[in-house]
Amino acid sequence: MTKSSKEATEIAELLFELLMAYKKRVHEAGRDNGLSPPQLAALWHLEAERGLPMSALAELLMCDASNVTGIVDKLEARGLAKRVQGEEDRRVKALLLTAAGEALRDEIRTRLLAPPSWVSELTRGAQRELRDLLRTALDSSWSEL
Partner DNA sequence: TATTGTTATACTCTATAACTATA
Partner DNA sequence: TATAGTTATAGAGTATAACAATA
Q: Which residues contact 60 (CB under 8 A, 6 or more apart)?
A: 41, 45
Cα–Cα distance for residue pair 48/106, rounded to 1 Å: 11
Which is nearest to 38 in space by CA: 21, 17, 55, 63?
63
129 binds its own copies (CB under 8 A): yes
- The residue type found at 24 is K
46 binds DNA (CB under 7 A): no
18 binds its own copies (CB under 8 A): yes
**Nearer CB in complex with DNA: 26/122:** 26
Least distance to DNA from the beta carbon of 64, Å? 3
Which is nearest to 82 in space by CA: 106, 61, 99, 65?
99
Member of 29, 48, 60, 65 binding DNA (CB under 7 A): 65
138 binds its own copies (CB under 8 A): yes
As beta bridge partners, residue 119 has none
**Residues at the interface with its own copies (CB under 8 A):** 2, 4-5, 7-19, 21-27, 62, 112-120, 122, 124, 126-131, 133-142, 144-145
